[in-house]
Amino acid sequence: MTEFARDEWRSPDPDPFWRLSSDRREPWLRAYLGNGLLTTQVVSEGGLASSQSARQPLRLLAGLYDRAPDREVEHPAPVPGWRGLRLTVGTRTLIPEEAGQYRQEMLLYHGVIETTHIWSLPEGAITAVTVQAVPRQEERLILTRLTLVADMPCTVTVTAEPDLETQPAPRVLSSGVSGARAWIRAQTHERRIEVVVAALLLNEDDLGSRETMGAALTLYLIPKQSHTITWLAAAHDGRSAADPLEAALTDLARAAAIGPARLLARHVLAWHELWRSDIQIEGDPEVQRFVRAGLFALLCSLRAGVPVSIAPMGLSGMGYNGHIFWDADTWMFPPILLTYPHLAREMVTYRQDRLAPARARARAEGYTGAMFPWESGTDGTEVTPSSIARTGLKEHHITACVALAQWQYYLATGDRSWLADRAWPVLRDAAEFWVSRVIHTERGYEIRDVIAADEYAEDVDNDAFTNAAARAALLAAVNAARLLERPAPDSWQEIADQLMLPRDGDLVLEFDHYDGRVIKQADVELLTFPLEYPLSQACIGRNLDAYRKVTDPDGPAMSRCISAIVAAQLGRRDMALGLFAGCYEPNLWGPFYSLAETPTNAEVNFLTGVGGALQSLVFGFAGIRLHDAALALDPFLPTGWHALRFSRLWWRGAPFALHILPGDRAEYVAVEADVPFALTLRRWRPGPEPLTVEVWVEPDASCEIEAVGWRVERIESDKHRWHVWPPASEPIDPFLRLRLMMRTEDGRAYGLDLEQRVRDGDDRLDR
């Protein structure tokens, strides 16, 4: 293929696993690009117009919903625009599907898609390369840069083909040309929000060109010389601007003044900054590619300053009507919280901003506090379709999931002002909901007649996850009240202590009278993670063994992620890796490692499953747990992996790197800290050997270690190495608290509280 001169935005990838490519056109698969506010699907034509009239990319704006006349519930409102660029040489149209050579690459590190078409004509070859981006540093721009080169002199006309009007797109009101700029005005059906897209073609090579009306440009190609043009589109709507057309035209003028090359360069730098929180898997290239592709897809649907949450398919398409489920709070939020806390904050803000409708819903259903909807959209009212309306009526664990995400954000950030001002009303009202939802019987407190997290189980009593999640939400409210010195009713603690959990010996039953039937997705295993419900090691192991065998193999991707985390906690190395592989390998589609919801459907870009897989890495193999004022670690390196590295995580406002190394060692490295240091500890379980802790710190710094309830013994006087010996009797607490204190000669000081898991279960509290 023809080589083109490198632009200033191009730079080498840090390693070979940043590029995903295909030499085959795969029209059924649509990747997507986004900046967290505006997204566009990328079809195999890569910015060129398909010959198939039905093929056009979908563009979405975060939080912009509509309800078309033929739809029962609201859904994302597709943004109008242009299907792609059509190339005409004389009277001949260059049809993308007829190109003799083809290649499409997703450059994850740069945040762009590059597509190459080569047509072999009787008079010579013509090559077209498109580079597509949704500039990360911008809010409402889409950029397609087209470079053409021909073996012979020829005239090429480039024309932007407008979208075909299809449901459920907003109705087009008008379109036209303003100078060299084309525009389309539309309006959503239900709320009548004006949506405007304006665009222009920029010629980056003045030689031998002339501009025509708005969406067309004619180029005179000189043999063997490349010619580059850029198609810029700007999208605004009535929520962002009083005059969306004027706002879009202003964006275009500003972008044209900056220039496409600089726009791309700044976009790439913005993605490079995001990738400072890379996750590196050494020893398994396929996992590496999947993890980066999944993280990229998540980031395309998140943006600072845009208080929206993530639908199961993000902003990639219309799946699940773009509604917000527990998928966001329970599956996608936790890994984003530790890698990009500023983006995770927007997800919990989405729920806070919709507390009033949740309160109204609780009152309407006869409860107190707040009852969050199973499916949420624009304003937080219930928008579950009637075909599955019973989930909206009975899948009540969503209210606990919302509250727990709020509490997790506080645990990770330590932001007490945020807890008081923003999260406390959610935690308080969620607790009050559960007070009104439970009933008191001779068995304790019960929650009857729900749809379980395992949605095959309908109309059941005392679903294990629902009850345990309600307990966790009540305890979060109790702890928040204590921290904030707010009043907390005694009933919160009492109900949490006495909430019923069905049991059969060491096995937690999924619900009352559970009979071993097939389950759709994880339920009981969620008690071990993320809820950390106090169970014995024997109970945790039996739950894992029992429920992984009856989980539907055609169920959603995320269940095996939780099983992998539990297996890692139990030290089952091969099982943990196999379960992790099972959460994504059967569900991968296409060259860009898009994850489908199940092995048998093509609902791709299933970000819920991506979030679950990332949790397997963060909370399974790294063994991280979020505790009040302490970050817990439990390193576990899968067989065949050389290292698992998190280049930047965040804890209590400070960035750190974490490396899981052979020998199940965790290396915690302070970055951007006044006192740089690295702490290494090994995974420990009860036995004759002590826990070993080693610290690298500046030569002039002193360092001390404290271990609550354990004996600390320095190994060598000239190094910062310690043995930490357990009490004479086997430790009964699941975690050991370590306190690291360092001080330099010039007065700089640093303290860190970490926890190390030393038991798999907690027999004292198991009941």
Give the residue numbers marked as catalytic.
455, 597
C-alpha of 765 from chain center: 34
The whole-angstrom separation of Cα 359 and Cα 248 is 38
The whole-angstrom separation of Cα 182 and Cα 249 is 9
Q: Are 525 and 544 a contacting pair, CB within 8 Å?
A: yes
Closest CA relative to residue 695, chosen from 624, 748, 623, 750:
750
Residue type, 460: V
Q: Are 13 and 98 a contacting pair, CB within 8 Å?
A: no
Computed from CA positions of residues 257, 262, 264, 266, in that sequence, does the dihedral angle turn out positive or negative?
negative
The whole-angstrom separation of Cα 375 and Cα 392 is 7
Closest CA relative to residue 26, chosen from 594, 608, 606, 583:
594
Cis peptide preceding 96, ω within 30 of 0: no
Exposed/middle/buried for 280, CB within 10 Å: 0-12, 13-18, 19+?
middle
The whole-angstrom separation of Cα 684 and Cα 366 is 49
**For the range 8-11, what are the long-range contacts, defined as Cβ-Cβ under 8 Å and sequence gap of 24 or more?**
8/261, 8/262, 8/264, 8/265, 9/110, 9/261, 9/264, 9/265, 9/267, 9/268, 10/110, 11/110, 11/268
* 3-state secondary structure at position 19: strand
What token pair was written down for 25?
């056109």
Strands 31-34 and 721-725: unpaired
* E-state strands within 594-734: 594-595, 625-627, 630-633, 643-651, 654-661, 665-670, 677-682, 691-697, 702-707, 711-716, 721-725
Place of tokens 């087209």: 146
Neighbouring CB atoms inside 10 A of 394's CB total 17
String of DSSP letters for 365-395: TT-SS----SSB-SSSS----GGGHHHHHH-
What token pair was written down for 465?
């996850």
Helical (H) or strand (E) element with 407: helix 397-413
The whole-angstrom separation of Cα 386 and Cα 383 is 9
Closest CA relative to residue 561, chosen from 600, 520, 606, 614:
614
Task: State the greatest distance between any 2 C-alpha atoms of the chain, in Å, as a whole number.
Answer: 89
* Cα dihedral: 65, 70, 73, 75 (round 10): -30
